[in-house]
Amino acid sequence: MTGYIVRRLADLVFVLFGVSVLVFLMIRLIPGDAVDILLGANTDITPERVAALRERLGLDLPIHRQYLDWFAGVLRGDLGVSVWTGRPVTEEIVSRLPVTLEITFLALAFALIVSFPLGILAARARGGLGDVAVRLVSIVGLTLPSFWVGVLMLYAASIWLPAWPTIGYVPFGEDPVGNLSRMVLPVLAVSFPMIAGLTRILRSSLLEVLSLDYIRTARSKGVSQRRVFSKHALRNAMIPVITVIGVQLGYLLSGVVVIEQVFAVPGLGRLAIGAINERNYPLVQGVILVVTAVFVFINLLVDLTYTWIDPRVEVA
């Protein structure tokens, strides 16, 4: 087991190296560098000044030199400094990561709490009114884009509940109530698609398990309906659900990027979008590297969960 984890973490290093090269090239393939973007279409700046500015930012060096300089820094744990503010990239990311993780995990928790009863309800009442209602709602949830839902909820709240603070972010440590009340709408908005997805997979997975022989055996032994569900069916229906949770967490992260924009929440997504728009190369590279690491790490956790749920799955 320990050997497995160590091997997976070693893989992580290679993934990160590959991603770092890709990101480094991709962000530079987009036309326009930080200087072009900042000057925009509207300044009376001379070409000599542009060159001077580019030199200040080290953008005049050949691309392999830029990469080697940056990579040498990464090996020392130094992700460089943000082009315009001069703040260390690591510092920028560390200040934003908790915000994004808070939304992500609150949304995940909320999605789990809601989708389990819904999925079980739909499976038990298969073909009945409850089942049809749940399936209908989950289709809607999958179809509506979360940013649109977010804007709509925000607008409604501004009219009917004007006193409710819904925009922006305050750290939990400073003001727990303010923090959570601002989390409600973004968390709702990003969790809808996940609730819909999880409910559907849980329902179909449960139905599949329920039709298996051992369930029939349990039932014929006289085991109560409740026990059949909780003890026999649910746990065995979990493997596909866990896989979907792993995949959905990726979508959730990307949903959070957009929703941070809508609710003016200063998370990693805002940082990344701003950095890409202003071609803040070191910052883009740093954020992508960290998000990749988080993603790979989540996948590892998902894989480890399989063995916990189903001891027959071996990882060695």
Partner 1 sequence: MRKLLPALLTVLVAAFPALAQQGTLEIAVDQAPVGLDPHLVTAFSSFVVIGQIYDGLIEFDADLKIGPALATSWEVSEGGLVYDFELREDVVFHDGSEMAAVDVVYSFERIMAEETGSPQASRFSQVESVEATGEYAVRFTLAAPFAPFLGNLSNLSVVPRHVVEAEGDLQRVAVGTGPFMLEEVVPDTYVRLVANPDYYRAGQPQLAALRYNVVPEASTRAAGLRTGSYHLLPDVDPATAQTIQGAPGVELLEVQDLAYTLLGMNVEREPFDDPAVRRAINLAIDREEIVTAVYFGNAVPGGPLSPGLDQWALDTDEFACYDHDPEAARALLADAGYEDGFELEILTFGTIKVVSDLAQVLQAQLTEVGIDTTVNVAEFGTFVQDWRNSDFQAFVSLNGGNADPDGYLYRTFHSTGATNVYQYDDGTVDTLLDRGRTTADDAARFATYAELQRILACQGPVAHIAYATLFSGVRENVDGFRQMPTRGMRYLRETGLD
b/e code 295-305 from CB counts within 10 Å (16+ = b): bbebbbebbeb
CB atoms within 10 A of CB 72: 10
Q: Quick one: 44 or 213, whose CB is closer to partner 1? A: 44
Asked if 254 interacts with partner 1 (CB under 8 A), we say: no
Region from 83-91, 236-244, 296-304, 306-314 binding partner 1, contact rule CB under 8 A: 83-91
Residue count of the chain: 316
Scan residues 125-164 and list those touching partner 1 (CB under 8 A).
Answer: 151, 154-155, 157-159, 162-163
The CA-atom distances, in angstroms, between 221 and each of 31, 217, 218, 225, 227 are 70, 6, 5, 11, 12
Asked if 169 interacts with partner 1 (CB under 8 A), we say: yes
Which one of 188, 271, 288, 289 is in contact with partner 1 (CB under 8 A)?
A: 271
The CA-atom distances, in angstroms, between 69 and each of 29, 62, 78, 240 are 19, 11, 11, 44
Q: Quick one: 182 or 200, whose CB is closer to partner 1? A: 182
For residues 121 and 130, give the distance between their C-alpha atoms in angstroms, rounded to a whole number: 7
DSSP one-letter code for 113: H
DSSP one-letter code for 230: I
Which one of 200, 203, 232, 279 is in contact with partner 1 (CB under 8 A)?
A: 279
Asked if 3 interacts with partner 1 (CB under 8 A), we say: no
Which one of 9, 26, 32, 140 is in contact with partner 1 (CB under 8 A)?
A: 32
Binding to partner 1 by CB under 8 A, coded x per residue (else -) over 52-71, reads xx-xx---------------
Which one of 15, 85, 140, 216 is in contact with partner 1 (CB under 8 A)?
A: 85
Which one of 19, 188, 244, 278 is in contact with partner 1 (CB under 8 A)?
A: 278
For residues 187 and 114, give the distance between their C-alpha atoms in angstroms, rounded to a whole number: 13
- In this structure, what token pair is assigned to residue 247? 């995949």
CB atoms within 10 A of CB 105: 13
The residue ranges that bind partner 1 (CB under 8 A) are 30-32, 36-46, 48-49, 52-53, 55-56, 84-87, 92, 95-96, 151, 154-155, 157-159, 162-163, 165-169, 261-264, 266, 270-271, 274, 277-279
